[in-house]
Amino acid sequence: MRTAIAYVSYSGNTEETAELIQQKLYARGIQVDMHRIGIDQPIHPSQYDVLFLGTFTWENGSTPDEVKDFVLEIGYKPDNVAVFGTGDTQFGGDDLFCKAVDKLVTFYESKWGGLKIEQSPRGSQEYVIDNWLKGVLQHARHIA
């Protein structure tokens, strides 16, 4: 199985989440290509069994411009996109929490619910990542 993790992060929370997902995939013997959105060369989703897409949420629940550009760069809706992200409930409560994750899940009609992490993923939220990843990989194996 081959996977990629494409993500954007300003202050490090989404990057930390991406790195934890990377470690957990490596631990299962799964190949992972890391892609920093807006920095690295374009990637081709069709080369991967799963493309993990990570984003934070910006003002009033918006999706970062870098992610919108990435979506345009891909240019179609691959059926293998699993979305994760970080946010902060202090910015608008549950309604706006990780709204960019919800928007991307809807846009890609993702098979998987989005993973939402409050700020840093370290510590008590790691089990949430584990459970989510288990669900993604079960279904990915099923379709592979």
Ligand X SMILES: Cc1cc2nc3c(=O)[nH]c(=O)nc-3n(C[C@H](O)[C@H](O)[C@H](O)COP(=O)(O)O)c2cc1C
Binding footprint of ligand X on the chain (CB under 6 A): 9-15, 56-61, 86-88, 91-92, 96-99, 119
Token pair for 75: 């240019």
End-to-end CA distance of the chain: 8
Q: How far is the CB of 115 from ligand X (least distance, A)?
A: 13
Q: How far is the CB of 64 from ligand X (least distance, A)?
A: 9
CA–CA gap between residue 31 and residue 26 (Å, rounded): 7
Please count the CA atoms within 13 angstroms of the CA of 64 that sit on its side-chain side: 20
Q: How far is the CB of 50 from ligand X (least distance, A)?
A: 20
The amino acid occupying position 99 is: K
- The residue sitting closest to ligand X, measured at its beta carbon, is 87
Q: What is the dihedral of CA 100, 102, 104, 108, to 10 degrees?
A: 180
**Of the two residues 47 and 90, which places its CB atom closer to ligand X in the complex?**
90
**Of the two residues 119 and 126, which places its CB atom closer to ligand X in the complex?**
119
Token pair for 84: 């994760």
CA–CA gap between residue 144 and residue 124 (Å, rounded): 32
**Of the two residues 13 and 110, which places its CB atom closer to ligand X in the complex?**
13
**Of the two residues 1 and 91, which places its CB atom closer to ligand X in the complex?**
91
Q: How far is the CB of 84 from ligand X (least distance, A)?
A: 11
